[in-house]
Amino acid sequence: MANGLPGSTSALRDRGRRPRRSRSRFSTRRGFGTLAIAMVGGSVGVSPGQVWRSPPWSWPQYRRLGVWRTLLLRAAGQSPFTAWLAGWIIFGPTGLTPAGFAALSISAHVLAVLLAVLALGPALLLLASAASRSRRSIWSGAWWSANGASQAVLGLTTMACFGLACVAGYFTYQAPTDPFSAFPVFLVSPAAGAVGFLVAWICSNRDVKRTIRGGLAAGYWMSSDRRWWWDGTQWVDAFFRAPDSALRSPDEGYWWTGTQWIALPLTPRGVKTRQPYR
């Protein structure tokens, strides 16, 4: 079926109905560049000025990482928020004094150490691996692994949140009768964490954004339901295979079609899957 859209015909076949033929179309928004007619290796050359779309924040729903890697990535991604809570909980009751910290119970000491490790451990690891060549392997599956600048900003943001939260805890300790007077100081740490997190996210997308806006990212003919892409000779199911030359997102969870991001397939390379639709 040379001119049919595989996404629609397969759905009709599953229902036991006769598929209806239709001509495939590839559309772009006006003013976003002109598509070239020539196709090279299945991709469609797009003139400079592609529309930039930010990759999704989360991984595809059907993709799951290992338990330990999931815990590590979540601890690092949530480290600014954890540092904010840890700094305020640890130093709020003690007032930043050694005597006040020593007066706490053993269980409070254990809780304080655990919170400090959860808050500062990922931050130190981020800063230590920011300039390392093994950065991508350590933080595989994380958007901040795209470049060292993103990791450094996220690590420094966590450290800053912890310090600001300690100061907020000190002001809360100094004003026990009117704790709401320290409320503005209490909000400085999460505000700084949100700004730093956003800056780190922008840094992680820097190279991908430059490639797309510069017209250097390959574009692909897609079916109307975005399930199939054209490799130059046949339609290929995007759920099972993605183009090798397609641009990947910083977390390597999505690939760029030329107009939007699509989740990378779950099947590892080398595993035989269903044959492409012809």
Query: What would the pLDDT profile of 34-87 be if each residue is shown by its tens digit?
Result: 333 233 344 444 444 568 888 887 777 767 777 888 888 888 888 898 888 888
Backbone angles phi, psi at 54, to 5 degrees: -70, 140
Burial of 169 (0-12, 13-18, 19+ CB in 10 A): buried
Lowest mean pLDDT among 91-100, 101-110, 160-169, 233-242: 91-100
Question: For helices 67-77 and 79-91, what crossing angle results, to 10°?
Answer: 70
How is residue 203 written in tokens? 């840094």
Q: Cα separations (Å) of 247 from 69, 151, 255?
A: 24, 21, 6
The overall pTM is greater than 0.85: no
C-alpha triplet 234, 235, 241: angle, nearest 5°: 115
pLDDT > 90 in the chain, percent: 22
Please give the backbone phi and psi of residue 237, each rounded to the nearest 5 degrees, phi first. -70, 120
SS3 237: strand
Within the chain, where are the H helices? 6-14, 67-77, 79-91, 98-102, 106-128, 135-138, 148-174, 183-204, 206-213
Burial of 171: CB neighbours in 10 Å, binned 0-12, 13-18, 19+: middle
CB 33 within 8 Å of CB 50: yes
Least confident segment among 60-69, 77-86, 140-149, 248-257: 60-69
The distance between the two most distant Cα atoms of the chain, rounded to a whole number of Å, is: 81
Residue 95 pLDDT > 70: no
More confident residue, 101 or 257: 257
Q: Which residues pair with 230 in a beta bridge?
A: 235
pLDDT at position 14 over 50: no
Is residue 174 very low, low, confident or very high in pLDDT (cuts 50, 70, 90)? Answer: low
The C-alpha angle 131, 136, 140, rounded to 5 degrees, equals 140
Average pLDDT of the chain?
75
pLDDT at 53: 85
